[in-house]
Amino acid sequence: MARRALGPATLAVVQAVDALASGGWAVACSGGVDSLALAWAAHHVAGKRGTPVRAVVVDHAMQPGSDAVAAAAVARLAGFGLAAEAVRVTVADAGAGPEASAREARYAALEAAVQPRERVLLGHTLDDQAETVLLGLARGAGVRSLAGMPVSRGVFDRPLLGLGRETTLAACAELGLEPWADPMNRDPRYARVRVREVVLPVLERDLGPGIREALARTATQCREAHDLLSELAEETDPALTADCLHLLGLAPGLRRRVLADWLAAEGVRDVSATHVDAVERLVTHWRGQKGVDVPGGRVSRRDGRLLLTPASGDGRLR
């Protein structure tokens, strides 16, 4: 019997996956529409190539019955022949919020589950990229955040970044797959949901179609700028990264990047553009200030150099 031709949406997803280099794949699948379409396409392409593929379902244990949802996703994947395992994680909120904490736990679990010479495929789409850029804009973030999600980083690949969510929805419909609808994806308490359900539709309606694509192009351009700044920052002598006279002579964009990297190297987490700007003023507008508070400590200027004083466990400066 001849194999049924792929529908147009399914074909688009398959072609996006087929553009990846050959090798073993582990598909991160929640059972939602994007990752389910990706999992089917990866299974299809790997079968044609004769290369290994499997799926990993991360159970965040953040909702009642999450174990049953994960088990259902594993069963749904097995329904079209893709072997899968469920991995349960503990999401510890360290102050970054539930979304960020869940993402950190998920990525850590996926990295721990990856096998040698295996790539992890993520189902982020054009819509996810547009939402990420808009959230970065709302935070007043720099090019690092506006660069959005890279197509590839570390062991992770995102082959669907060029496709809209309507394509993955249509692919699941063509294939007769019933994706799981995460209730958190409709909860307006989360900023990303408000961007998805309210902000992007308004922009598309009032400014015309193509907003998602424009935001994705912005992400690409910002990533190129980010990569250039990274290269230039890496060329800075480590002995001079906290030297105020050296920093004063750098171009503003490069200076802020060097400062952000210096703060990260000193162990400061969750560095925002506001923190970097405040620290930069110790270099460019020095008036004998006492210092600038940053997460986990305070940055001060002493003898022409920046100094980070970490906070003790009770939050007081040491």
Q: What is the pLDDT of residue 96?
A: 60
Write out pLDDT tens, residues 63-87.
Answer: 888 889 999 999 999 999 999 999 9
Report the C-alpha gap between 35 and 37 in whole angstroms.
Answer: 5
Q: What average pLDDT does this structure show over 170-178?
A: 96
Lowest mean pLDDT among 38-42, 139-143, 145-149: 139-143
On whether 33 is known to bind a ligand per the annotation, the reply is yes
Tell the CATH superfamily of the 8-207 domain: HUPs (3.40.50.620)
Residues 122, 28: contact at Cβ < 8 Å? yes
Give percent of the chain above pLDDT 90.
Answer: 71
Half-sphere exposure of 59 (CA within 13 A, CB side): 18
Confidence of residue 270 (pLDDT cuts 50, 70, 90): confident
Alpha helix segments (H runs only) across the chain:
8-18, 33-49, 66-79, 98-113, 126-138, 143-146, 165-175, 191-194, 200-207, 211-234, 244-248, 252-265, 273-284
Q: Collapse the DSSP code of 153 into the 3-class scheme (helix H, G, I; strand E, B; otherwise coil) and give the result.
A: strand
The annotation status of 31 as a binding-site residue, yes or no, is yes
Show me where the domains of the chain are located: 8-207, 236-310
Give the CA-trace dihedral at 109, 125, 216, 20, to 10 degrees: 80
Query: Among 16, 214, 228, which Cα is nearest to 129's?
Result: 214
For residue 30, say whether it is annotated as part of any ligand binding site.
yes
Residue 33 has a pLDDT of 97
Handedness of CA 245, 250, 255, 259 (dihedral sign): negative
Strand 292-294 with 297-302, pairing = antiparallel
pLDDT 10s digits, 225-268 = 988 988 999 998 989 999 999 999 999 999 999 999 999 999 98
Kindly report which listed range (12-26, 110-124, 131-145, 153-167) carries the lowest average pLDDT score: 131-145
Q: Is 35 annotated as a binding residue?
A: yes
pLDDT at 95 (0 to 100) = 57
CA 229/CA 227 separation, integer angstroms: 5
Handedness of CA 39, 45, 48, 49 (dihedral sign): negative
| pLDDT tens for each residue of 82-118 | 999 999 988 876 656 777 788 888 999 999 999 999 9
Q: Is the pLDDT of residue 314 over 70?
A: no
